[in-house]
Amino acid sequence: MTGRVVIVTGADRGIGYETARYMAAEGGYDVVLACRDQEKGQNAIHQIKKDNPSALVTLMQLDLSSLTSVRDFVTNFTMKKRKLHVLVNNAAVKLSSTDLTAKPTRDQIEVTMATNYIGPFLLTHLLLDLLVTAAHMTGDARIVNVTCAEHDHEKLPGVTELDVDNFQLTKKGTFSGLQAYKNSKLCNILFSYQLADSLSGTGVSVNCINPGNIPSTQLESRSSKVKRGLKLVCLHYLLRCAKFTQTKKQAGKQVALLASSDKYKGSTGCYYEDGVAERSSIESYDRELRQKVWNISKKIAGLGRDDGFDDISLHSTV
Ligand SMILES: NC(=O)c1ccc[n+]([C@@H]2O[C@H](COP(=O)([O-])OP(=O)(O)OC[C@H]3O[C@@H](n4cnc5c(N)ncnc54)[C@H](OP(=O)(O)O)[C@@H]3O)[C@@H](O)[C@H]2O)c1
């Protein structure tokens, strides 16, 4: 056991489960599975322990679409006086591209943006003190944000750039499930780059990763059955021979390695694909957009000085 603690969100299935399993079994990490559904989370714990009885895995409830749940999660985690060395923001939701009606959460945030970006934004900020402390002690704490190639509108017909003045796609005729997903995944990258700069010198690294194309997960479960079937057969079974798709295990391992391997120690502010730093979309390097998104996110997430949150205080040194 390494004595290092990692939180993986959305760890009851898919890539998150495989990331958690790998970090517990192969990496010797003490893994907190942060899951929305307690029963599914328990099943995941059971499965990991069945294969590796000595694995250190615990379950904590977290619904990223709820700001209250995010705050409760952090309060519960902090009350346990646990250390935190790594945070993997993996959980996400994707509506169907034919879904043309925005669904607001209780906090009145569009559900895709709430789950994939605003929840993780708040979670990360509320856990920053713990990560900075861990970096002080060990010289290495990490944040890994799982994003997607679909953050790039140039690769998606009918999808446009992020309009900060229409951040939640409330303007008439602008909402689609795919546009919301694209925007949220772009925000994961903008956030990673901005936070990496803010945390420069603290020992906390921030990177994002596109785990590839993994048709065997349930991410596309809201797409039509025909589309899902086609994608599964064509992409998974045929294109896998040509290495265009990956299994959940392969993707989870990639995420786990970025979160734990010495190979990536010291790397920060990068976008990873297939284990190497690559260029993300042109839009993701727009610094003005980055700052605007940061400011609007703070407002939506309700972050303020009461949370000990102060942009300037992030520039501490190891
Ligand atoms: N699959 C791909 O081809 C692909 C490609 C590129 C990037 N990615 C990224 O990889 C990550 C994992 O996706 P996946 O393919 O493994 O999808 P998945 O099988 O659908 O798993 C998504 C996970 O997120 C959790 N989740 C959803 N809403 C949540 C909420 N409100 N609060 C907490 N957890 C929530 C789910 O929990 P429940 O079981 O409770 O729903 C589940 O554990 C995502 O960030 C996705 O964007 C996937």
* Of 9, 17, 35, 36, best ligand 1 pocket probe by most atoms within 8 Å of the beta carbon: 36
Q: Is residue 316 part of a domain?
A: no
Helix, strand or coil for residue 251?
helix
Distance of CA 290 to the CA centre of its chain: 17
Tell me, using a 6 A CB cutoff, whether residue 15 lines ligand 1: yes
Looking at residue 100, which CATH number applies to its domain? Answer: 3.40.50.720
Q: Residue 256 — left, alpha, or beta (φ > 0 → left; ψ -120 to 50 → alpha)?
A: alpha
Kindly report the pTM of this predicted structure. Answer: 0.94
DSSP letter for each residue of 188-250: HHHHHHHHHHHTTTTTEEEEEEE----TTSSTTTTS-HHHHHHIIIIIIIIGGGGTSS--HHH
Question: Does residue 311 sit within a domain?
Answer: no
Q: Does residue 315 form part of some domain?
A: no
Domain range for 236 is 216-245
pLDDT tens sequence for the chain (318 residues): 789 999 999 999 999 999 999 999 999 999 999 999 999 999 999 999 999 999 999 999 999 999 999 999 999 999 998 899 999 999 999 999 899 999 999 999 999 999 999 999 999 999 999 999 999 999 999 999 999 999 999 999 999 999 999 999 999 999 999 999 999 999 999 999 999 999 999 999 999 999 999 999 989 887 765 565 666 566 555 665 556 789 999 999 999 999 999 999 999 999 999 999 999 999 999 999 999 999 999 999 999 877 765 564 454 433
241 shares a domain with 252: no
Q: Measured between alpha carbons, how far is 38 from 247 in angstroms, rounded to an integer?
A: 25
On whether both 139 and 166 belong to a single domain, the answer is yes
- In 52-118, where does DSSP find H-type helix? 67-79, 111-113
Are 240 and 102 in the same domain? no
One domain, residues 147 and 233: no
At 237 the pLDDT is 56
Cβ 10 under 6 angstroms from ligand 1: yes
* 262 and 165 both lie in a single domain: yes
Q: Within 13 A of 131's CA, how many CA atoms are on the CB side?
A: 26
> Ligand 1: distance of its center to the CA of 4 in Å?
24
Same domain, residue pair 125 and 238? no
239 and 204 both lie in a single domain: no
Do residues 191 and 293 lie in contact, with contact meaning Cβ atoms separated by under 8 Å? Answer: yes
Same domain, 232 and 191: no
Question: What does the alpha-carbon distance between residue 284 and residue 65 come to, in Å, rounded to a whole number?
Answer: 24
Q: Please, how many CA atoms are within 13 Å of residue 31, restricted to the half-sphere of its CB?
A: 35
Alpha-carbon gap, residue 194 to 69, rounded angstroms:
25
Count of domains for the chain: 2
* 307, part of any domain: no
Q: Is residue 308 part of a domain?
A: no
Q: Which amino acid is it at 182?
A: K
